[in-house]
Amino acid sequence: MNYQAPLRDMRFVLHELFDVTGHCQQLGNGLDRETIDDVLEEAARFAAEVVAPLNRNSDEQGCRLENGEVTTPDGFAQAYKLFVEQGWASMTGPLAFGGQGFPQMVSANFHEMLMSASLSFRVYSGLTEGTVLALHRHGSEALKARYLGPLVSGEWTGTMCLTEPQAGTDLALLRTRAQPQADGSYQLSGSKIFISGGEQDLSDNIIHLVLARLPDAPPGIKGISLFLVPKRLVNADGSLGERNSLSCGALEHKMGIKGASTCVMNFDGATGWLVGQPNQGLACMFTMMNDARFQVGLQGLGIAEAAFQGGLAYARERLQSRAITGPVAPEKPADPIIVHPDVRRMLLTQKTLSEGCRMLAAYAARQLDLEHGAADPAQRDAANRRAALLIPMIKAFFTDCGQEVASLGVQLYGGHGYIREWGMEQLMRDSRITQLYEGTNGIQALDLIRRKLLGDGGSELNALIDELSTQVAFATSHPEMAERVSQRLQEWRALAESILQACRRDPEEIGAVSVDFLAYSAYVMLAALWLQAAVRASEALQAGTGETAFYQTKLQSADFYLRRILPRAGAHREALLAGASCLMAMPQSHFAF
């Protein structure tokens, strides 16, 4: 399967829908349209020519653990070296430590490309960027001076060490211990599981951010601290010293992303340093987690785009049967399957979900940029609230879409989709983890209800609906589409209020409504974005830009989404209004068989 970055759609989203140039001017980073487009062109070339060719073999070969050392699949080390040398690793890093300071609104497109080309390859660099973010925000000046430069450049990589065998989502059960030392360092002991990139042969050093408990820590999540623990200790002059007392005990045998080393990491009195304040580790880690959850959402989008490209190519080439209305290609023994309505349904579902998620990713990336880079503190605070509302939707909905679109890719190929050599089943296997790690999608849905909706009484959600409703009011070129979206926005507001009341009456409703409400919210959010895309497309057609087919396709895609995908929101609404009683009434013993 040959991957090509969807550059035209990315430019539409960045320039025509969200004015990324104006966004960059507001941030003061000096990026103009020509520079952004040139960077994305080079990014597309790197993804297609360097990374994508690694994907198939990485799934077949996987990683190997021998004598405590992990070997990544053939070609990964060389590709990672190019990734660093060409400056891609430092794309989002802070300027003060050698980074290029690209905003998320731009870099997210490159990261999506990497996810599509090879999710396994992207795993290694993705968590490094989160390590940089957490250390830059919470680390001491001494730690930042010693570690941030090589992390930003990609010379060193980073990990996030949270999960233990008994402590996954519930970090209150965490047991790893940190013992203070006379020199101000700590000795960490314990085991962590599911550590992406915990050991590999791509970088000279690996910087682990580890959650652990101090001896006098209070119980529960209030007693968790964050520590920086390097694979190799770093000398005062920045050179690498002896290996730390930590090791990779095993590699997990996984369903997918087999080219990414997922490790059991054992810390046996390993030397580490406190990041942030004692017992405030979870707050520090959430800086990293929010970025990681956005990136996992992009993984779902990247998988979806790759599956759509594979499905479309096959549907154009595969000859089976004749069109219902008569031969479309009479000179051939059969018509390409793209003439069949059900194949069109699958392709359009793939296309509109992928492109809709790309629009929402850009919208959210803008909030993440403003949260950190806006000059006005009030604007930073507003962007923080909006990003917090959107992150659980992006992580959960995008990854659900990635699995659905990958499954449709398998279906489009028929029996060949079930065969490994065609690549579709790998996408489906690779995408499955995205619904699980960095907080399962059910946890994201609970976060949306408990922390966001109940947390402020629906204030931020209502502000979002107000913003979208204002945009709908200006969509006079598409009155029918606008009316569909307007009705859903009003329904969304009323539904949120109904949920607030139900959850206050009965806490069980929080868990009962959460997954359906998140899905409902995302489908309606995408509908509002597709309406904006239709308005921009109509404006471009009226202006006579010369890209008639592209903009007509946007209008047709928007129409399909609003008619055939948006109605799913109604099913989620009906389900969540059914209440918690039908879920909780059955005694546990009745589940026996």
- Report the relative pairing of strands 262-275 and 186-196 from DSSP bridges: antiparallel
Which DSSP helix (H) or strand (E) runs through 269?
Answer: strand 262-275
Q: What is the pTM of this model?
A: 0.97
Taking alpha carbons only, the member of 487, 488, 514 closest to residue 500 is 514
Give the C-alpha separation, 276 to 274, whole Å.
6
> Angle, to 10 degrees, between the axis of helix 508-543 and the axis of helix 459-473?
20
Each residue of 449-476: pLDDT tens digit? 999 999 999 999 999 999 999 999 999 9
What tokens appear for 234 in the block? 């770093």
Q: Which residue type is seen at 91?
A: M
Give the C-alpha separation, 428 to 404, whole Å.
8
Residues 6+ apart with CB under 8 A from 414: none
CA neighbours closer than 13 Å in the CB half-sphere of residue 450? 14
E strands present in 154-259:
156-161, 177-180, 186-196, 205-212, 225-230, 232-234, 240-243, 246-251
Taking alpha carbons only, the member of 456, 463, 462, 402 closest to residue 428 is 402
Taking alpha carbons only, the member of 102, 92, 104 closest to residue 391 is 104
Region of 471 please: left (phi>0), alpha (psi -120 to 50) or beta: alpha
For residue 587, give the DSSP letter. -
Alpha-carbon 165 to chain mean position: 24
Each residue of 129-172: pLDDT tens digit? 999 999 999 999 999 999 999 999 999 999 999 999 987 777 77
Among candidate residues 112, 164, 371, 438, the one labeled active-site is 438
* Residues in the chain, total: 593
Residues 6+ apart with CB under 8 A from 40: 5, 7, 10, 11, 106, 109, 110
Q: Cα torsion for 335, 9, 80, 24, to the nearest 10°?
A: 180
Q: Cα torsion for 204, 209, 212, 218, to the nearest 10°?
A: 160
E strands present in 544-585:
none
Give the C-alpha separation, 370 to 367, whole Å.
5
Q: Catalytic annotation on 438?
A: yes
Contact 155, 196 (CB under 8 A): no
Residue 328 phi, psi (nearest 5): -95, -30
What tokens appear for 269 in the block? 């009195």
What tokens appear for 472 in the block? 């709908």
Q: Return per-residue pLDDT of the chain as tens, 593 residues.
A: 789 999 999 999 999 999 999 999 999 999 999 999 999 999 999 999 999 999 999 999 999 999 999 999 999 999 999 999 999 999 999 999 999 999 999 999 999 999 999 999 999 999 999 999 999 999 999 999 999 999 999 999 999 999 999 877 777 789 999 999 999 999 999 999 999 999 999 999 999 999 999 999 999 889 999 999 999 999 999 999 999 999 999 999 999 999 999 999 999 999 999 999 999 998 888 777 788 899 999 999 999 999 999 999 999 999 999 999 999 999 999 999 999 999 999 999 999 999 999 999 999 999 999 999 999 999 999 999 999 999 999 999 999 999 999 999 999 999 999 999 999 999 999 999 999 999 999 999 999 999 999 999 999 999 999 999 999 999 999 999 999 999 999 999 999 999 999 999 999 999 999 999 999 999 999 999 999 999 999 999 999 978 999 999 999 999 999 999 999 999 999 999 999 999 999 999 999 87
Give the C-alpha separation, 565 to 487, whole Å.
15
564 to 121, 476, 523: CA distances (angstroms): 35, 22, 11
What tokens appear for 94 in the block? 């802070």
